Structure 1
Amino acid sequence: MRVRMGTIVLGLAWLWTGAANAGSVSQETSYFAVRGSTLAELDADLNRQGPYVAETGLRHPGATEVKFDGKVTYKKVAEGCAVARVDLGLTLHLTLPKWTPPKRVSPQTILVWRTLEADIKRHENQHASIAKTWLKRMEMAVRNLRTERTCAEMETHVNTVTRRYLAGHERAQIEFDTIEGREVNFRLRRALNRNLRGEAGG
């Protein structure tokens, strides 16, 4: 099966509307049906039904949508203006494939699919993990900002820092996809061999 692991993270945005609990994370997963009785049929349907990613113009075997939001408030202090409260939030939506084997499907086909399905799930969960890490980093950076003369300057500083961390997050996601794309065939062969040994041992 041909697998394209270059999942692009969607919905990168910083929204200053609405409040969120500090560092709050909301995560949900939805599934799309894949049909077929052979590896070739599953491959074709996966490429036909997978989530469409506008950035690549392609469909992928899975996708992770990432949205940051939050609210930062400020307070007057003797030195000028400081950050008072930081409420950041992260919304994650994972899209994964789901296949129900029809009757008379070969055990080998089921084993290969389960290997691929597990790798797609691991890949998308890692995208989510990267986003959570950068949420924590960004929250800590904003909380520790130095005092500015005015609250307008403080807000400008916060905007600059959050943009920098969002850009860093995006680079981390792209780097992860690049590495995964290079290693996908080796990784799947290794996982399949491991599963085959497990089946033989069982």
Structure 2
Amino acid sequence: MNKRILLALGLITCSAIPAGAVSLSKTYSYFSVGGNTLDQIENELAKHGPQVKTSNKRHPGATQMEFTTRLGYAQGTTAFASSFCQLAEAKVTLKVKIILPRWSRPRKAEQDVRLIWDTLASDIKRHEEGHVVIAKNYAREMERAMKAIDRQKDCKTVLAKAKEIRARILEKHDKAQEQFDRVESVNFERRIMRLLGYRLERMEAARRAG
């Protein structure tokens, strides 16, 4: 997974804004894969798949993520004439781009190759969508943590606390994404065989019913 983290911490008007869910923007892009056999398809994935910063290898799919944090401040004075600053808004926006393979499905490809590709492509998409779910969960955690920042003596202190929260939660996010990849990699072969078996059972049931 390719993670691109961006922070935008800006001053906006000091009016309270109703709380809402994390905003998610998701798009898809595709790269072409050719080949008639599984070996050829594997070579095509290794040749044309997206690269990630954490590895020199190409991957069958990737997810690019951008976290943007928007903060709004409210300033005032207490009954004892001391000034204060607090957050009026903390909004986290998650922008996601999922990169997936698209096979040209040549006519010469055998039926079993088509079946395996359909199973593999579905699993690749499921995997990348899993990265998005993880990112959304940590974006929500970040937003909640920032909204819980107590009233401070000035906005500079509020901003410093928000940056500390952002750094801490993004670190947790990155570790969770890496753990997800490790678990998925270990279970890949067993998962694909189970999915293939399930698809074959459905095909056989449909054949008998027809």
State the TM-score, normalized to the length of structure 2: 0.87
Which of the numbers 64, 67, 92 marks the counterpart of 1:88?
92
Distance 1:93 1:147 in 2: 36
The aligned residue for residue 145 of structure 2 is 141
Deviations 1:31-52 (A, max 9, x none): 0000011111111101111001
Q: Is the 8 A contact 2:61 2:100 kept in 1?
A: yes
Letter in 2 for 1:186: R
The aligned residue for residue 124 of structure 1 is 128
Counterpart check, 1:13 vs 2:6: yes
Higher relative contact order (CA 8 A, sep 6+): 1
Q: Is the 8 A contact 2:36 2:109 kept in 1?
A: yes
The aligned residue for residue 173 of structure 1 is 177
Q: Is the 8 A contact 2:94 2:139 kept in 1?
A: yes
Unaligned runs of 5+ in 2: 13-18
Deviation at 1:12, TM superposition (A): 2.5
Q: Which has the larger radius of gyration?
A: 2
Q: Is the 8 A contact 1:80 1:149 kept in 2?
A: yes
Deviation at 1:13, TM superposition (A): 3.1
Q: Is the 8 A contact 1:96 1:121 kept in 2?
A: yes
The aligned residue for residue 3 of structure 1 is none
Deviation at 1:17, TM superposition (A): 5.7
Runs of 4+ in structure 1 displaced over 4 angstroms?
A: none
Distance 1:155 1:106 in 2: 59
The aligned residue for residue 53 of structure 1 is 52
Distance 1:9 1:57, change over 3 A: same
SS in 2 for 1:36: coil
CA RMSD of aligned residues (A): 1.8
Distance 1:117 1:148 in 2: 51
The aligned residue for residue 102 of structure 2 is 98
Q: What is the number of equivalent residue pairs in this alignment? A: 194
Deviation at 1:25, TM superposition (A): 1.1
The aligned residue for residue 194 of structure 1 is 198
- Which aligned pairs between 1:17-56 and structure 2 lie closer than 5 A? 23-56=22-55
Unaligned runs of 5+ in 1: 1-7
Distance 2:147 2:175 in 1: 23
Letter in 2 for 1:71: R
SS in 1 for 2:3: coil
State the TM-score, normalized to the length of structure 1: 0.90
Distance 1:48 1:17 in 2: 41
Distance 1:72 1:44, change over 3 A: same
Distance 1:18 1:40, change over 3 A: farther
Distance 1:187 1:18, change over 3 A: farther
Deviates more, 1:148-157 or 1:105-114: 148-157
Distance 1:57 1:190 in 2: 30
Distance 2:88 2:50 in 1: 40
SS in 1 for 2:55: coil
Deviation at 1:195, TM superposition (A): 1.1
Distance 1:188 1:18, change over 3 A: farther
Distance 1:199 1:58, change over 3 A: same
